[in-house]
A = this chain, B = another copy of it.
Amino acid sequence: MAYLTVNVEYGLHCLLWLVDAGDRPRSGRDLAEFQGISSSLIIKIFGKLTKAGIVRASEGLSGGYVLAHAPEQISLLQVLDAIEGRKPLFPCQEIRGRCAIFEGQPPSWATGGVCSIHAAMLKAEKAMRDTLADCSLADIGRSVTRKAPTDFAGEVSDWFDSRLSVRGRRSEDKHDKQGTIV
């Protein structure tokens, strides 16, 4: 078990395939198939990313998702918060005020300001969030590009284009058949 769910990994990997796609939408189903993961889960995750304004969704045969901002402006932290929700690291219940010798009436020195334990946890949480805020989709994309052979980006584009083209042909066939029936 980890603190984050696999949805963050799924969402981030699929977002990476939008980095070089520019304004050409890629569908949730294609992203899921390309990445080898569940289509229904990706649609759920991308619903959250759309709601958070990280991607823009469009309907139709050639519809799908595009990044709503330049990949340099989308941080891992934004993606994490969009998918997992903005959860605190530490669930402070202010139990410092429950100390028996206060007899239900904790003095102000005991409950004023932030609890020292909570403050330490907030500092650790900030260190984690600052690191994720400093890393963008563009950073990750560049790192993948550095590793990949030069023709990889082209192969990726071709794969998504071929899916779109197959959908286009199927749609034409459907219209032809409807025409025949009618």
- Please report A residues at the B interface, Cβ cutoff 8 Å: 1-6, 8-10, 12-13, 16, 33-37, 76, 85, 87-93, 95-96, 98-101, 109-110, 112-113, 116-121, 123-125, 127-132, 135, 139-140, 143-144, 147-149, 155-156, 159
> In the complex, given contacts A13-B96, A127-B131, what are 13 additional A-B residue pairs having Cβ atoms less than 8 angstroms apart?
A1-B91, A2-B88, A3-B87, A3-B90, A9-B92, A16-B117, A33-B100, A34-B100, A76-B121, A101-B159, A109-B149, A110-B148, A121-B132
Q: Which residue of B lies closest to A102 (CB)?
A: B36
User: Is there an interface contact between A91 and B35, defined as CB atoms closer than 8 Å?
Assistant: no
Known contacts A9-B90, A89-B2; is-contact A116 B99 (Cβ 8 Å): no
Contacts of A10 in B (CB 8 A): 95
Known contacts A37-B95, A120-B140, A124-B128; is-contact A110 B147 (Cβ 8 Å): yes
Between A and B, 26 residue pairs with Cβ closer than 8 Å are: A1-B91, A2-B88, A3-B3, A3-B90, A4-B121, A8-B90, A9-B93, A9-B95, A9-B117, A16-B117, A33-B100, A35-B99, A35-B100, A37-B95, A76-B120, A76-B121, A120-B131, A120-B132, A124-B129, A124-B131, A124-B132, A125-B128, A127-B127, A127-B130, A127-B131, A128-B128
Inter-chain CA distance A149–B2, complex, in Å, is: 41
Contacts of A4 in B (CB 8 A): 89-91, 121
User: Is there an interface contact between A34 and B128, defined as CB atoms closer than 8 Å?
Assistant: no
Contacts of A121 in B (CB 8 A): 4, 76, 132
